[in-house]
Structures are given as C-alpha cells and as structure tokens.
Amino acid sequence: MAQALEGVRVVEFAAGMAGPWIGRLMAYCGAEVVKVESKNRPDVTRQYVPPWAPEMGIQSQLSPWLTDWNAGKRCVALDLTQPAAVELAKHVIATADVVVENYSVGVMDKLGLGYAELQHVKPDLIMLSSSGYGDSGPCRNFVTWGPNIEALSGLSTFSGFPTRQCTATQYAYPDAVSALHGLFAVLCALDYRTRTGRGQYINLSQYEATVGIAGHVLMDYLGNGREPRRLGNGSHHAAPHGCYRCLGEDRWCAIAVASEAEWERFCAVLGEPAWTTDARFATGRARLAHVEELDRLVQAWTSQRDAYEVMAVLQAAGIAAGVVQNIEDQLRSDRQLAAREFFENVEHHRKGSVLANGIPLGLTRTPGRTGRAGAAMGEDNDYVFGELLGMTQPEMQHYIDLGAIESEEFFTTDLTDSTD
C-alpha cells in the first residue's frame, strides 16, 4: 500500500528530539530518512543507556530514546571534519528533497553544508534549521536544552502548585512542540515546491515555537492585565477540577466538571449527599471560591473507590474523568489503546521484535508504519554509499581509509544487552 510521503528523501543532521522527531514522523509516512552521525558527533540519545552512564560509550541498540525517536531511518557514519566526508554528504543531499538539522547556529556553515552552499548542490532543496533561538537576535548563540527554553517561554511560571516553587514538566516539551512546528513547515514547503518548483530555507526557533503555544496567556495579560497563576491541577473556570486520590497506593483519577448540568449529574452519581446542596457549592463561581473544601469532599468519595470504577461511573454520566495511568496500566489495562492497536511490534537490531508506541496520525488511505527501530550508527553505509550513490566496495574502502566514512566496527562495545 502506498504511503503519504513515499518518494520523499530526507537527510538528517540532528540529535535529541527536536530534529530527529521530524524525521521519525516523516519516515513513518514513507519518506526515506538518512541520518548522518559520527563517533565524535553522535546523536546524544545514543548514550542514554542503562545504567544512565554516558561515559560507557556509544551503544545505540540499548537506548530507548534513540530506538523510538529514530525508528525507520537509515543510519550512516561520516566524519564531517574530513573534507572528503563533506563531499560525500553533498552527494547524498543531491539525491534528497529535504535536509533537517538542529546543530548550533553556524555549525552547518562552518562544515560547508549551509543552505547557501547546498543550493548549488540541489537548487530546489528544502532545508530546515531548528535551533534554540533562531539564527538571529542576541540569544542566537545561547546553549540550548529543553528546561531552559521551557523556563524562558513562561511555561514554568504557571506550572505547578501555588504553594510551591515553579515546576518544570520533566519532559522535553519544547522539543516536541518545535518538532511538530518543523514538520508542518517542511510539509508546507514541499507543497509550495510542488506548485512552484522552488525550494526554501526554514529558520525555526524552538523558543518561539514554545512561547507560541501559550498565546492565550499573552492575550489575557494584554487585555486584562492578569499575570498567569499556578493552579496545580485546578482551573480558572471549573470546579471540581483536579486529580483525586483513590483506593490503592498512588492511585488517582482526574475529574473535570465543566457546567451546571454536569454538576447536577456529578451530584447524582455521588448519591446527592447533603453537602452538594450547600450554598457554597450552588454555582460555578461559588464552587471556585470554596474549591479547597470542595476538593476535600470529592476526595472523601473517590478515596473509597477504585480509580477505574470512579472513571467508569462518571463517564457513564457524561462527566470527563480519567485514571492517572502508569506505563504498566497503558500496556496491560488500557482497553482503548488495545482496541485501536496503538502499540506496534518493531524490529530491533539487538532485541528482535520489541513493542513500541504507535504514531497516531489516523491516515486511512495511506496508513504509516514504523519499520525497524533506531539503527546502529553506520549500519546503512553499504546501502547509502553503495546502492544509493553507486560506489564500489574499493571506492568505499578508500573513503574508510581516509577516515571520511566510519565503519560500524568503530561502535561495537560489550555493554549488557538490556533495555531495562
């Protein structure tokens, strides 16, 4: 069955999630993605291996991050400090439609692989540069990592509970947000090229992408002069609204009652105890004014019940409720994910078949597929340089001898064969 991006080729110079996740999604939709790395500049996630010891070296097969964020890609190893390697990279790019990179600003230019140079190699090339702050402005050369972008974007200002210090999400949120922005930009550029025959350069700022998702906060400040407040699991607009403790160790259910009609149904589910008719809870505004007492009373009910029971009875009454699930719950107990066959079995270089998250794009005519998990560095040298570029084995060996192509043997280590 044909796939949506079949026939599109992407060359990726990227690490972490912000750049690689773009290639991951495109590969899922049928694009051929060639990931370029070297032993001196590996994707940092190759080193995220148990027991979380980067000094143990490059061992791609054992990294959950590398396995997921780089599934479906062709992986080659080129030492881009060698001029011969840069020339080989240009030959690969000449066959491609898109280049994705998230190196620090100016690195690709220094390597001789900036957009101005690559336009001579491939005039209709689309090139996405995803940097922390964009390629201009006073912060353009700042060192970038997810938490510092999250902090600057303002997300940390209104994350967490009002009685505690600001809290980060403990997830690479700016990476995911900027990757989705970058993917959309690349697809727009591909459509534009189809209509005009012209490529373009995409200058993406991960910082701006993250600031942009909180546009409502800016509008509220400009319109009403209000700074955002940390509400924990609460809401400006609804109560009860939060995560409530249930039976069992660390078991919770999230509940959101968004209207007066829902409040009436919520009270009915609880058996309409006397407190539900208290004047303090008679209106939405009153419930918000007395939310701490309301939350205490709601939790007195939920704490006597299984979290899945709470979700079931409230959902049956048309009230939003969801168990706070852990990974084991998702894998073993989540009937919704199972019914939609969300998890996929993918080929793993060292582990055989492994279970992985699906990509929920929902394409019905051109469904995607993951293919194999993240490959070993240099694993696809023969395919890319041999089949794609038509090089002979003696020619490839010449570049290996020069140090331009790094063979897979450079990256073999004897770490414990486990992803646990």
Q: Where in the sequence numbering do the catalytic residues fall?
A: 175
Q: Is the dihedral of CA 73, 76, 81, 84 positive or negative?
A: negative
CA 25/CA 4 separation, integer angstroms: 11
Count the Cβ atoms, other than its own, within 10 Å of residue 217. Answer: 17
C-alpha dihedral, 297 to 303 to 304 to 305, nearest 10° = 120
Question: Token digits for 356?
Answer: 């992985």
Q: How far is CA 56 from CA 66, 92, 193, 258, 303, in A?
A: 16, 31, 44, 51, 45
Distances (CA, A) of 199 to 101, 185, 192, 396, 408: 16, 12, 8, 31, 34
Question: How many other CB atoms are there within 10 angstroms of residue 135's CB atom?
Answer: 15
Answer for the pair 95, 74: CB distance below 8 angstroms, yes or no: no
**Cβ pair 362, 342 in contact under 8 A:** no
Q: Retrieve residue 169's tokens.
A: 């999400």
CA gyration radius for the chain? 25
CA distances from 72 to 3, 105, 384 (A): 14, 27, 14
**Within 13 Å and on the Cβ side, how many CA atoms surround 286?**
10
Residue 405 per-residue DSSP state: B
Report phi then psi at 368, rounded to 5. -85, 175
> Where does 227-351 show beta strands of DSSP type E?
241-245, 252-256, 320-323, 344-348
Taking the C-alpha atoms of residue 127 and residue 14, their distance in angstroms, rounded to an integer, is 12
Q: What is the number of alpha carbons within 13 Å of residue 103 lying toward its C-beta?
A: 19
Task: Specify whether the CB–CB gap between 10 and 31 falls below 8 A.
Answer: yes
